[in-house]
Chains A and B, each alone.
Chain A
Amino acid sequence: MTELKKPDFAIRSSQVAKSYRVGLGLRRREALRSVDIEITRGELIGLAGPNGSGKSTWMRLLAGIETQSSGSLEVLGGSTAVAKIRREIGFLPEDAPFPPELGARACLDLLGSLSGLNRELTRTRGDALLARVGLTKEATTSLGKFSRGMLRRFGLAQAWLHSPKLILLDEPTAGLDAEGHEVLRELLKEAREEGTTVILSSHLPGDFGAGCDRLAVMVGGELVQVGPPAELLGLAGCWNINVHGLEAGRIKELEAWLQSAGVTTSSIQATGRELSDLYRPGSAASQ
């Protein structure tokens, strides 16, 4: 008789709700109404939703910063009130308000010690991650002098610092440049290979397309849809082709040919090179 193997869940969220008391009359405001989802270990979940839909609140509950008002939430097999569980969670908050007076390396030292890493390991991993996100030269620069994009890069480094088993990324691409996007893609790829569970929230459909196993759509504090990104975003059979060297006059011929082949075209417009091409030294002059 074969025994069915129980799925190993990274997150089990059942009817999780969160409300705040606001104003002088302590009026109740619901941030999350009911979130039900089970996420297995090693999954990469995209989280989408309009502003104020409760994405960040749910992430804060998962990170153990706040506790739910009702429902049950199990993260990595336990409660986030337990330090051992929190040690396995990496979190990149939406606003990244790291101490502005600390340098990048000093801040990583502090965060490493708060995560229970020894100083030597923190320094080794911290320096490697700073190099990875392109901040080696700014290792001693105070975070208050960082631009928004540099802070997002630093945020990625601190989220990966203690090799967590669950990584929560709240809008990691906001303010990131093209190189930063590339770094994030590589980090996500590695996380996937190592079996790390990742939840990534974003407003950009492009962030979910490539690597996400499932896309969860949150509206009004509830998950209204959960499924494969290609299915939810209607990506099947939909292609975006960049063509270089085609004269403007011949684009009509191409469109006519596509229509004769029974294909619907929704956007044909002139584009140029990717911005990241321009960042490479001498690339603009050579073309």
Chain B
Amino acid sequence: MSALAIAWTLWGDAASAESALHPWSQAAGVERYRIWVTGLLVGAPLLIERSVSFSHRLLSTDSSWCMSRAASRLTIVSSSWLGAALAVFAWILLIATAAEFGAGGAEEEPLQPAGPALLSSSPSDQEGVVTFEVQAPRESAATALRLPVGLIATGGPSAKLKMRFSRVLSGEFTEEELLVATKRPIQVQIPAGEGALRLELERLGEGALVIVPAERAEWWRPAEGRLKPSLNLALLFSMIAITLLAWALCLGTWMRPAAGTGLLLAAAVALCFGGGELGEWGKLLEYVANGDAPAAPSLQAYGIALAAISLGVALACAGLNRGARK
């Protein structure tokens, strides 16, 4: 299982090594990504299985020496959760440290999201040119615009684009030629000055058809430190992991270990591809692979995690009480 996970990770790295973004930090990002994915794929199933089995033992074999003690079931469950959470923190910090050492000394500062960008297309007289009117970013720290792209390989596997990003009033601009060969977002630096912006995309020569879903465009700003990608990721994954552990303890008291582990791993995979404050693991890892820093968890995410942990622990206590009455 672990060997398969590592093989998949290495294959994933090879597949994602091509990049249209800032190549230097991406190389470091790919290294971080490789270590994170390996660490998570090896550690997460193990921790979940151990936690489910542990709480199942509390209900069955360990009940004789444990449940006759003065400590309440809530104390037993919450201290078990705390112990498991500390183990998770240690494991994730180990991964984060390995990821930073593995990435080496990246000279370029990683970026992190700075909110959605509002683009509206405007008609253009020139053939092969698309023009967007762009509202100035709310965050003054934003330095780049990223546009997601899709490719339809009609005239070839890739396309060449010229991007011109200019200030409408002052006329200052940045210009870049890009070879779009993957589905990774394309990035353009914001020109100096203030006020509304205009983005022109010009197709150069023959090639694949490029689709630009402008509603998913985002502003990006430099992260506050070089360690930011791993630190934010460590915080996010710790939060997700300790929430899952509370539910692992809960499921162990209500069902057999194999069923509980299977159910929780399925939920973890669903969270990986799903949305929500604690979801989109895939997107988090994509940030790292691109050499970017995911945003720090929001207050809402903390709130959801706290509620989910409390509910998991409460249901674990209920499971133990149910076991006593059964």
Give the B-binding residues of A (Cβ under 8 A): 20-21, 60, 63-67, 83-84, 86-87, 89, 91, 93-99, 111, 113-116, 158
Q: Does B126 contact A (CB under 8 A)?
A: no
| Distance, CA A89 to CA B69, complexed state (A) | 8
Chain A hits for B325, CB < 8 A:
66-67
Q: List the one stretch of B8-16, B57-65, B186-194 in contact with chain A.
A: B57-65
| Distance, CA A89 to CA B68, complexed state (A) | 8
| Distance, CA A86 to CA B325, complexed state (A) | 17
Is A114 a contact of B324 with CB atoms below 8 Å?
no
Is B65 a contact of A98 with CB atoms below 8 Å?
yes
Chain A hits for B326, CB < 8 A:
20-21, 66
Q: Pick from A20, A91, A96, A99: contact of B68, CB below 8 A.
A: A91
Whether A93 contacts B65 in the complex (CB less than 8 A), given A20-B326, A66-B325, comes out as yes
Which of A87, A94, A97, A116 counts the most chain B CB atoms within 10 A?
A: A97
Is A65 a contact of B62 with CB atoms below 8 Å?
no
292-326 of chain B: CB within 8 A of chain A: 324-326
- A93 CB → nearest B CB, Å: 3
Which of A66, A87, A96, A116 counts the most chain B CB atoms within 10 A?
A: A66
| Distance, CA A65 to CA B71, complexed state (A) | 12
A-B contact pairs, 8 of them (CB 8 A): A64-B68, A66-B325, A67-B324, A89-B68, A94-B64, A98-B65, A116-B70, A158-B65
Is A65 a contact of B67 with CB atoms below 8 Å?
yes
Instruction: Rank and list the top 8 A-B pairs by shortest CB-CB distance, nearest first.
Output: A93-B64, A87-B70, A114-B69, A63-B68, A97-B61, A114-B71, A91-B68, A65-B67
Q: Pick from B61, B62, B67: contact of A64, CB below 8 A.
A: B67
Chain B hits for A64, CB < 8 A:
67-68
Is B64 a contact of A65 with CB atoms below 8 Å?
yes
- Residue of A whose beta carbon sits closest to that of B60: A97
Q: Does B72 contact A (CB under 8 A)?
A: yes
- Residue of A whose beta carbon sits closest to that of B69: A114
Chain B hits for A96, CB < 8 A:
64-65
Q: Pick from A65, A66, A94, A114: contact of B70, CB below 8 A.
A: A114
Whether A65 contacts B72 in the complex (CB less than 8 A), given A20-B326, A97-B61, A99-B62, comes out as no
Q: Mostly helix, strand, loop or mixed at chain B's interface? A: loop
| Given A91-B65, A97-B62, 10 extra CB contacts under 8 A | A63-B67, A64-B68, A83-B71, A83-B72, A91-B64, A113-B71, A114-B66, A114-B70, A114-B71, A116-B70
- B256 CB → nearest A CB, Å: 14
Chain B hits for A114, CB < 8 A:
66, 69-71, 76
219-275 of chain B: CB within 8 A of chain A: none
Which of A20, A64, A65, A91 counts the most chain B CB atoms within 10 A?
A: A65
| Distance, CA A21 to CA B326, complexed state (A) | 7
- A55 CB → nearest B CB, Å: 14
Chain A hits for B61, CB < 8 A:
95, 97
Is A95 a contact of B64 with CB atoms below 8 Å?
yes
- B84 CB → nearest A CB, Å: 15
- B51 CB → nearest A CB, Å: 15
- Residue of B whose beta carbon sits closest to that of A91: B68
Chain A hits for B64, CB < 8 A:
60, 65, 91, 93-97
| Distance, CA A88 to CA B76, complexed state (A) | 18
Chain B hits for A94, CB < 8 A:
64
| Distance, CA A93 to CA B68, complexed state (A) | 10
- Residue of A whose beta carbon sits closest to that of B71: A114
Is A111 a contact of B324 with CB atoms below 8 Å?
no
| Distance, CA A86 to CA B63, complexed state (A) | 14
Chain A hits for B63, CB < 8 A:
65
- Residue of B whose beta carbon sits closest to that of A56: B64
Whether A86 contacts B70 in the complex (CB less than 8 A), given A21-B326, A66-B325, comes out as yes
Chain A hits for B68, CB < 8 A:
63-65, 86, 89, 91, 93
